Amino acid sequence: MTPEDYVRHDATALAELVARGEVTPDELLDVALAQVAALNPKLNAVVHLREEIARKTIADGLLPGPFRGVPFLLKDLGAEAIDFPSHNGSRLLADTSYGQDSAIFTRIRASGAVTFGRTTSPEGGIGPATEAAVYGGPTRNPWDSSRTPGGSSGGAGAAVAAGIVPLAHGSDGGGSVRIPAASCGLFGFKATRARFPDGPYSGEGWAGMAIDGFLARSVRDAATMMDECQGPDLGAPYFAPPLRKGFSRAIEAPPARLRIGLCTTQFDGTPVAPEVAAEVEKAAHLLENLGHTVTPLRPEAHHEGMMQAWTRIVACGTALSVRKALARQGRELREGDVEGVTRGAIAYAETLSGADYLEAVGQIHAYGRQMAAIFENVDILLSPTLAELPAKIGRFNHETEDYVAFRTGPGGVFAYSPFCAAFNASGQPAASVPLGEAAGLPVGIHLAAATGEDERLLSLCAELEQAAPWVDRLPAFRLASR
């Protein structure tokens, strides 16, 4: 199989070729590794290559799942696996090894996918760009190498958009699947809180705001992998409402006609970039043409308080991760161990008490109730995914130690990505759909639904994909680098 043939297939189509005997898993792995060799020097997206592990996995007999033989990459943050050490985006945590596989990796492996490496992430997963010092340089966007592919699953977004793999693991605690999806012209879905397992290494991530997910070219790929991975693991402290029929069956037919609320500004009324707002208006017209009812809506909730609470919770989570790493290594923090933003997060966390942390969790829960009320009057909330086009490299690097300003200050993370974290806080499902384009760059369209309505939301995403197909819309980089 040639690289040109490989990039024209999504993961489902590649698995069908394997099932028919038209290509072998080893041949697909050959192409994926050739793509890494050709493209990764320009992208800096793939790390921890483990070809020998992937070859052994194939030789030992792949599990008969829906993605049997398809090359796959894990994010270099979470998804703990015995055979795949991780830097977790940090020099302090470089080459961390694991004594057992995480539940999410066990389920990914059961899909038959052939994992052969990891993808880059910013330190701690707390930024919308992927420029961690441990990787020796920034990860770049295949659409425009001067821009970020997003974060924190930025390496995953770059690898899928560039055609290294058709589908990759990510995670999302404040938009970390949806931001790269919007930046790289991909589909990204954040499921209802606790839809996927966190164990055994964690009971919950960031007070329940963080969840695993996937960067995909097609809705059907995401649906199939989510079916493989959904459901609580042993001892989960809580779990999402059960699916009615499953993600893959949900996309077999479009949803009933829906009430859609349209927000073309930030939720507090602040304007977004005009070219971004224009693409959201186009998406609204498409939905109306499909028979859905679209009405203007600006969701009323305490958005600023949510952002402040999110910032406190993540600072405490970052400080805890560093403390645990130092305890394992039996030493104190040294200069150069972590980047500026992480040092700032630790310093900020030290100003907070246990009561402050619990108050922040309470604010997040209150915000979830406020956002739940929005969906009593609409089925879907439509907005941009990002307030601007993908940021230039360097804008969100982690050099600053002013962690609070990095998140909430003028031009900071929340100004750039004001929509995504709202649904991590509320726990509601949300997706970025690659419908838009401006100045030769992707523009993500954000769709969100009520808690537990993952299937309805995914069905709508599939309807949009059928109405305005995007799977063959490739960055020139992908095919021009042969």
Known catalytic residue at 459: no
Out of 152, 153, 171, 248, pick the active-site residue: 152
Q: Give helix 11-19 / helix 25-43 axis angle, nearest 10°.
A: 150
Known catalytic residue at 75: yes
Query: What separation in angstroms does the CA of 277 have from each of 264, 273, 297, 370, 385?
Result: 5, 6, 14, 25, 10
Sheet holding 211-216, edge to edge: 46-47, 114-119, 71-75, 167-172, 211-216, 187-190, 430-438, 441-449, 380-384, 259-262, 293-296
- Taking the alpha carbons of 290, 286, 142, 89 in that order, is the dihedral positive or negative? negative
Place of tokens 């007070």: 207
- Which residues are CB-neighbours of 355 under 8 A, at least 6 positions away? none
CA distance linking residue 267 with residue 422, whole number of Å: 10
CA distance linking residue 58 with residue 276, whole number of Å: 44
- Which residues are CB-neighbours of 392 under 8 A, at least 6 positions away? 146, 147, 148
Out of 121, 176, 426, 459, pick the active-site residue: 176
- What's the helix, strand, coil split of the chain in %, to 5? 40, 15, 45
Amino acid at 143: W
CA distance linking residue 247 with residue 446, whole number of Å: 19
Known catalytic residue at 42: no
Bridge partner list, 147: 392
Nearest to 164 by CA among 184, 193, 183: 184
* 216 three-class SS: strand
Amino acid at 76: D
Question: Where are any strands of DSSP class E within 133-184?
Answer: 167-172
**Cβ neighbour number for residue 265 with a 10 Å cutoff:** 17
* 200 three-class SS: coil
* Catalytic (active-site) positions: 75, 152, 176
